[in-house]
Amino acid sequence: MSLEFDLIHRYFSHIGSPIVSEVLLGIGDDAAMVSSAPDPLVITVDTLVEGIHCFADDPADSWAQKALMVNLSDVSAMGATPFAFLLSLTIPAFDDAWLKAFSAALNAQASKSNVQLIGGDTTKGPRAVSITALGYVKDGHALKRSNAQVDDDIYVTGTIGLAAFYVYARSKGIEPGEHATRAYRYPNPRLDIGPRLCGLAHAAIDVSDGLLADLNHILTASQLGARLVQDNIPIAKEWFVCPEAEAFERAVTGGDDYVLCFTAPKSARALLLSLAESMEVPMVIIGETVEGSGILLDDKPWNGVLGYDHFS
Ligand code: ADP
Ligand code: MG
């Protein structure tokens, strides 16, 4: 278990028991779920902190798009459709130009995503943006991490490692290029995929901490292992500047991809691949779930790091 998850588990997993019956799903998934009529409500919160999730030179519109979309990504990873959000904004000073650019970008992205800002909080301090997003999922259709079955196909819905390349390139003084810069600063996950997977997929997660770390959350929650085929994992071609093994490891553990990783029975394969074609989503099968635990890559156990951990 990562130190971050160990911390959450140790200090926060049993707060305020007994569990009230309205809580359908608590800590441990992309979002929590509470009962409401006619469909359950899905709720999630994620925070961006300057110097951790964003660079000091990231523009205001990047903060807006990233803060909103990483949260809507979590909602859609539950198979849910977002409809509203709350904004908690911490900024070092009143800065009209920054606030204008931030709010204009937030408005543009929220309108495009059919969500409305319904509340929040504003304070002065080191820059941090926290968004709480709400969505609905059809009753009984949520894509939980814990529902993968043995012998499922494992899919991803897009390129892995593009935003991670931006971070790597900056650290090495390499020019990251337009494509990787956009992926890092302006994540733009497809929110229509998650809801379309309901009834077809068994389990899903959005890839935020690294493909292997996030897949491992599904595996741990479902008490399974996985066998992956390295050549099937769609690594961003930007990584070709690095030696292959290093490029692969950095791409699959880097995070910030905001694509979905999901599992589905082999019987759903034809339907899913035709859905991918009709939606023009680059959905690929990267392996399958197996009995046991851990990740086998080309039949060798993966013993390296799995992804980003705030506390290691
Ligand atoms: P994600 O990457 O999908 O946003 P996180 O890694 O942020 O998920 O969190 C993992 C799980 O732990 C989620 O279910 C989240 O709600 C829960 N969690 C994280 N931090 C806390 C906390 N301080 N108190 C309670 N639950 C938390
Ligand atoms: Mg998530």
Residues 224-282 pLDDT 10s: 999 999 999 999 999 999 998 999 999 999 999 999 999 999 999 999 999 999 999 99
Q: Which ligand is closest in space to the CA of residue 5? A: 1
188-234 per-position pLDDT tens digit: 999 999 999 999 999 999 999 999 999 999 999 999 999 999 999 99
Going by pLDDT thresholds of 50, 70 and 90, the confidence category of residue 126 is: very high
Going by pLDDT thresholds of 50, 70 and 90, the confidence category of residue 18 is: low
**What is the pTM (predicted TM-score) of this model?**
0.95
Q: How far is the CA of 263 from the centre of ligand 1 (A)?
A: 21
Q: How far is the CA of 8 from the centre of ligand 1 (A)?
A: 7
pLDDT of residue 2: 85
CA distance 119 to 168: 36
Going by pLDDT thresholds of 50, 70 and 90, the confidence category of residue 307 is: very high
Please give the C-alpha separations between residue 114 and each of 84, 107, 157, in angstroms, as whole numbers.
Answer: 8, 10, 22
Binding-site residues, ligand 1, Cβ < 6 A: 8, 12, 27-30, 46, 74, 208-209
Per the CB < 8 A criterion, the answer to whether 158 and 259 are in contact is yes
Going by pLDDT thresholds of 50, 70 and 90, the confidence category of residue 19 is: low
pLDDT at residue 23 tops 70: yes
* Phi, psi for residue 30 in degrees, rounded to 5: -65, -25
Tell me the DSSP string of 151-182: T-EEEE-S-BSHHHHHHHHHHHT----HHHHH
Per the CB < 8 A criterion, the answer to whether 10 and 4 are in contact is no
Phi-psi domain of 79 (left: phi exceeds 0; alpha: psi -120 through 50; beta: other)? left
* Phi, psi for residue 255 in degrees, rounded to 5: 90, -170
Across the chain, mean pLDDT equals: 96
CA distance 15 to 33: 16
Q: Where are the alpha helices (DSSP H) in 78-156?
A: 96-112
CA distance 283 to 191: 14
Q: How far is the CA of 177 from the centre of ligand 2 (A)?
A: 26
Please give the C-alpha separations between residue 67 and each of 55, 92, 105, 128, 248, in angstroms, as whole numbers.
Answer: 13, 17, 11, 10, 27
Which of 1, 8, 143, 310 best tests ligand 1's pocket when mutated (most atoms within 8 Å of CB)? 8
Q: What is the mean pLDDT of residues 86-93?
A: 97
